[in-house]
Structure 1
Amino acid sequence: MEWLLGLADWQAIGADVRENWPLYLSLPIVSAAIGYITKVVAIQMMFKPIEFVGIKPFFGWQGIVPRKAEKMASTAVDILTTQLISVRDMFNRLDPQRVAQEIEQPLMIAMERISEEIAERYKPGIWYALPDFAKRRIVERVKDDVPQTVERIMTELREHIDELFDVKHMIVGNLVRDKHLLNRIFWETGKREFKFFGTAGFYFGLVLGFWQMIAWVFFKEPWILPAFGLFVGLTSDWLALQMLFRPLRPRRVFGLQVQGLFLSRQQQVAHDYGQLIADQLLTPQKLWEGLLTGPLSDRLTEVLQRHIKHAVDEQSGFAKPFVAFAVGSRNYVEMKQAIAEALLREVPAAIQHLNTYAENALDIRNTLVTKMQALEPEEFENMLRPVFKEDEWILIAVGAALGFLVGELQVFVMLH
């Protein structure tokens, strides 16, 4: 009798499945979609929108990376400056003599023009009143002394670069101002991993969906579908993250060598990352801007002024007593200060002549690639992991909530 009842139940189940097979088949498909969509939404929430959308402070959203731009940038720069590249090493690659050669011509032209303009400002006609041989001697001294002055400045700059240039402030400042670039750095670093994140969610959801279908066939309890939806959204995030970063080092599993997807791509990621940083953040032009306008630029200005004033004294040479007598000792001191200040304003333009030489000498791209490829897995993991760690619980909660809501919708469809 019990056997006949069991047979009748199986027959009823079979009839139900045959009659409603499209609905049953939809369960794993919808579950796979939940797994995929929740991951895509999670990735989008990491990077978008760039600026807050909604009603502050609670009703709205801003991408995790742009919202925590300063912290994200600081994390990336800490790795960059402590493990990949040293600002001292960079500037030590610049040869003072070669630097002097590259900017000698624009500085010499500026020096001649400024000296004449300042002299005319304090004592009209004084330059033209100088004997021709005196003018020639001053010009010759300018030509001789400009390279030496530049060499002395570069030598002091290289010796005290850590006191004169805050490279972390420069990079973090640029990234905070340009959140699109910050997003791009993290996206380019892990673009394949982000795509895998969605694909993995699809397959995890598909497998769990089959179990969801079997459970519904036998029990048809309304809580089953939202519970599975919540479970898919919740667990697939964790599983996908594990596959991205674990195991850290290659291992043999059932005869196959496995390693976290991101870690297994270290060589390619290093190449892409090094190229992006060298082309967008650590260009010679940005280095000069950071050096001349950063928080330590006052110290650099003092160094430049000291050397320029010394150069002015040397370049005036034997004409100094004549000039000082003609304009007065006090005015002569003011003239030196005015020349120094005017020359400082010429430095940003003159230093651009260094860009081609500096790019080749610094060789930032190859340095970053080589150093990054040699990182230990524990260090390399930190290139991308901060993006996932920041507010990870929010992303998982959103995935779980979306899965639960879709499950409730499924219940409505299945029972009606």
Structure 2
Amino acid sequence: MPVLAAFIGYVTKLVAIEMMFRPVDFVGRPPLLGWQGIIPRHAGRMGSISMNLLLGRLIDVNQIIGRLEPEKFAEQLREPLTRAVTEVGTDLMTRHQPQLWELLPDEVRRRLLRRIADQAPRTVAELTADIARNPDSYLDVWDMALRNLIADRSALNRLFRDIGAPEFTFIARSGLYFGLVIGLLQAGVWALTHQPLVMPVFGAAIGLSTDWLALKMIFLPREERRFFGVLRWQGLFQRRRDQVATDYAKLVADEVLTAPKIMEALLTGPKSDRLLGLVQRRVSEVVDRQLGVVRPLVVLGVGSQRYRRFKADVAARALELAPLAMGPAMAYAKDALAIEQTIVTAMRAMTPIEFESVLRPAFRQDEWKLIVVGGILGAIVGELQVLLLIG
């Protein structure tokens, strides 16, 4: 009986843990006949809770973006920008002014493209400075991160499961130990009563109580306490503060708030139209500046409408090629933003209650269901014990 009780405790814990995260997609017949992991099922709510913590307590987006040095960022892009400008300039000139472009000598074409390419880093530096001064106008980090977490529920699972891996292991093992102790009591009661009802009742008690107790021991007490003057105990998660801060920061920096994803949010997010407007203004200034005193003659020759369309096409193509051109600068951007180090520092400064919120939502959401399921499974296994003993 003690061995079976330990088995009940262990298995019910494993099942409860897996039910938190699996399956990622609903299996069965919705809405009631089936199951989806609690975290994936409530991806929107869980993601919002994580973003509340991340952006409300750990990171100041304006401060992070402000760390980019426009000149240094632009210098990282000099070579890819030169290639991009050459491609864009040649393509647009052959489209808008094919006859004029063909008439120009090769040296004149190269010189013209080189002059524009030389201006590209300066333009990028100006754009970066504009964005850094007011990131909220061009970037919705909340929307970016939440959309990514909802779209990739596996990443959301990792945000909780990887960070709390030792705690989940403790929950499973606690079922083994607690179940063994309760099983000894169960054996004593059975020896005295031989009542078949004892088995499922004790099985349910094992499943319910050990789930509840294990969850409490993960987070409480928040500060280390002495029991009976000898035994010292602190919630497992609280005890691992430094390691959790390091792991959480790395996961967020590598999967949630990465430099490429921030760049993608700038280009395709809900505020990307503002970035397009900014790029159009800057590109227009560059083109006008390069034409200088001959600009009125060019406008007169091609027409003002066609001239404006040309500048708009330059801006659109620049944004189209931006992801590829920006690639070489992502390593610098990651170092400059220093998201991982920022999160580690902020998490180590959190109060115990604030720190608990990193993992607690994974358990709090529908926690009662996990405990009830543990009790039901325990009762079923207890009934099987009866069948084995009587049979």
How does the TM-score come out when normalised to structure 1? 0.88
Selected match of 2:20 from 38, 41, 46: 46
Alpha-carbon offset, residue 197 of structure 1: 0.1
- Tell me which residue corresponds to 1:157: 131
- Tell me which residue corresponds to 1:298: 273
**Bigger shift: residues 276-285 or 35-44:** 276-285
Report the secondary structure of 1:330's partner residue.
helix
Q: Distance in 2 between matches of 1:153 and 1:211?
A: 72
- Tell me which residue corresponds to 1:204: 178
**Bigger shift: residues 301-310 or 118-127:** 118-127
Q: Is the 8 A contact 1:312 1:336 kept in 2?
A: yes
Q: Is the 8 A contact 2:86 2:117 kept in 1?
A: no
Amino acid at match of 1:89: Q
Distance 1:37 1:326, change over 3 A: same
**Bigger shift: residues 342-351 or 72-81:** 342-351
* 2:357 is equivalent to residue 382 of structure 1: yes
- Tell me which residue corresponds to 2:260: 285
Selected match of 2:317 from 329, 336, 342: 342
Return the index of the structure with the highest Cα Rg. 1
Alpha-carbon offset, residue 140 of structure 1: 5.8
Selected match of 1:409 from 366, 384, 389: 384
- Tell me which residue corresponds to 1:324: 299
**Bigger shift: residues 111-120 or 39-48:** 111-120
Q: Is the 8 A contact 2:6 2:180 kept in 1?
A: yes
Alpha-carbon offset, residue 289 of structure 1: 1.0
Q: Is the 8 A contact 1:274 1:366 kept in 2?
A: yes
- Tell me which residue corresponds to 2:238: 263
Q: Is the 8 A contact 2:276 2:315 kept in 1?
A: no
Matches within 5 A, 1:247-262: 247-253=221-227, 254-262=229-237
- Tell me which residue corresponds to 2:212: 238
Selected match of 1:107 from 75, 81, 90: 81
Report the secondary structure of 2:28's partner residue.
strand
Amino acid at match of 1:349: L
Report the secondary structure of 2:77's partner residue.
helix
Q: Distance in 1 between matches of 2:296 and 2:106?
A: 17
Gaps of 5+ in 1: 1-26
**Bigger shift: residues 401-410 or 237-246:** 401-410
Identity of aligned residues (%): 43
Alpha-carbon offset, residue 361 of structure 1: 1.1
Matches within 5 A, 1:8-407: 27-129=1-103, 138-139=112-113, 141-253=115-227, 254-407=229-382
Q: Distance in 1 between matches of 2:106 and 2:149?
A: 54
Q: Distance in 1 between matches of 2:78 and 2:94?
A: 24
Report the secondary structure of 1:407's partner residue.
helix
C-alpha RMSD of matched pairs (Å): 2.0
Distance 1:166 1:415, change over 3 A: same
Alpha-carbon offset, residue 214 of structure 1: 1.0
Alpha-carbon offset, residue 196 of structure 1: 0.4
Q: Distance in 1 between matches of 2:93 and 2:299?
A: 11
Alpha-carbon offset, residue 294 of structure 1: 1.1
Alpha-carbon offset, residue 379 of structure 1: 0.9
Alpha-carbon offset, residue 325 of structure 1: 3.1
Q: Is the 8 A contact 1:138 1:317 kept in 2?
A: no
**Bigger shift: residues 346-355 or 238-247:** 346-355
Q: Is the 8 A contact 2:280 2:311 kept in 1?
A: no
Deviations 1:4-37 (Å, cap 9, x if unpaired)?
xxxxxxxxxxxxxxxxxxxxxxx11111111111
- Tell me which residue corresponds to 1:6: none
Gaps of 5+ in 2: none
- Tell me which residue corresponds to 1:10: none
Report the secondary structure of 2:155's partner residue.
helix
Amino acid at match of 1:334: R
Q: Is the 8 A contact 2:267 2:319 kept in 1?
A: no
Deviations 1:124-164 (Å, cap 9, x if unpaired)?
23235468997677456424532332222111101121121
Distance 1:121 1:392, change over 3 A: same
**Bigger shift: residues 122-131 or 380-389:** 122-131
Deviations 1:303-354 (Å, cap 9, x if unpaired)?
1111111211112223323322332233222222222222222222222121
How does the TM-score come out when normalised to structure 2? 0.94
Amino acid at match of 2:299: A
